[in-house]
Homo-oligomer: A and B are copies of this chain.
Amino acid sequence: MTEDQFLESLFARLPPPPQSVVVPPGDDCAAIAVGGGRLLLLAVDQVVGGRHFEITGAGAATPEEVGRKLLARNLSDIAAMGGVPKCCLVAVGMSHGRDQQWLRQFFAGLLALAAEYEVDLIGGDLATTPADDVLSLTVTGDVRDRDVVRRSGASAGDALFATGLFGSSLATRHHLLFSPRCREGRWLAENGWAQAMIDVSDGLLLDAQRLCAASKVALELDPEAVPRRTPATSEAAALTDGEDYELLVAIDRERAPELEACWPFADVPLTRIGAFVDGAGPEVVGADGRALLGGRTGGWDHFDM
């Protein structure tokens, strides 16, 4: 059973949330109406030593990189809703073998990114653990209710665009050093471009499939169009490596050329990589109609049960 499947079955058995919960669990963030036409976005994510970052060897993450990544993963969730990140709270479960220096450096990395994205750290809980580093962060964000972008808004005929480059995230340390696409997500939301949006944390194919499942459409993807992070990155790696933390966004097909013409962020490519189509299930197929992802055949899940 995957994390998605477990959480889906868990939330399915809960009573329906109150009306103030405008976006219920299952999207990149939950959203709660707070009055004045604004929504409070909330998301939680964690990083686990040996799972989300290497703790030994040449690829070992520095404590600064761990802190940075923990916040960045959460900022990416706010970006995918078209929101502006505001505050965060951190729970540190730190191996008792770590020292105060490690913790200071962890927070230094986290707070440097927080300053860059104008996010306030407003709460924390610290504990030592018998063995593992398990660090979680809850982020809040703000978005106008008319701007919020869900996963569920894509329609057959919409074009699929992606920000940035894909694949080889581990080898290039992109998974530690990426810039969450808050600026881009907000621009796409506030200017009415984004019909549906998701951030790619677990591999392009798997997250594209999640977008399809939420929107009840299928996707025709052009794998060759997916921009790869390095010359050595294979097509398969670009589709399934994960930890790209780029945005996938559904755009009205008629307006796609206009978007390509007016995209204002010269340092971040925006690439048309597919089209949503009618389908019996959330299938992702190539241009030749071959299934790229029907069941679970690619991507990452940090939860194995």
- With known contacts A130-B131, A305-B128, A123–B29 Cβ distance under 8 A: yes
| Stretch of A48-56, A154-162, A249-257 on the interface side | A48-56
Instruction: With both chains docked as a complex, state the minimum distance between the C-beta of A145 and any C-beta of chain B, in angstroms.
Output: 14
Could you say which of B43, B48, B132, B304 contacts A89, with CB atoms under 8 Å apart? Answer: B43
What is the copy number of this chain in the assembly? 2
Q: With CB as the reference atom, state the residue of chain B lying closest to A122.
A: B30
Residues of B within 8 A of A90 (CB): 44
Asked if A3 CB lies within 8 Å of chain B CBs, one says: yes
Which residues of the partner chain B approach A140 to less than 8 Å between Cβ atoms? 32, 42
Shortest CB distance A107–B (Å): 6
Q: Which of A97-135 contact B (CB under 8 A)?
A: 99-100, 103, 107, 111, 115, 120-132, 134
Q: Which of A6-14, A217-225, A236-244, A261-269 contacts B (4 or more CB under 8 A)?
A: A6-14
What is the interface residue range for chain A against chain B?
35 or more
Q: Is A36 an interface residue (CB 8 A)?
A: yes
Which residues of A come within 8 Å of B, CB atoms? 1, 3, 6-7, 10-11, 14-15, 17-18, 21, 24-25, 29-30, 32, 34-36, 40, 42-46, 48-52, 87, 89-91, 93, 96, 99-100, 103, 107, 111, 115, 120-132, 134, 136, 138, 140, 302-305
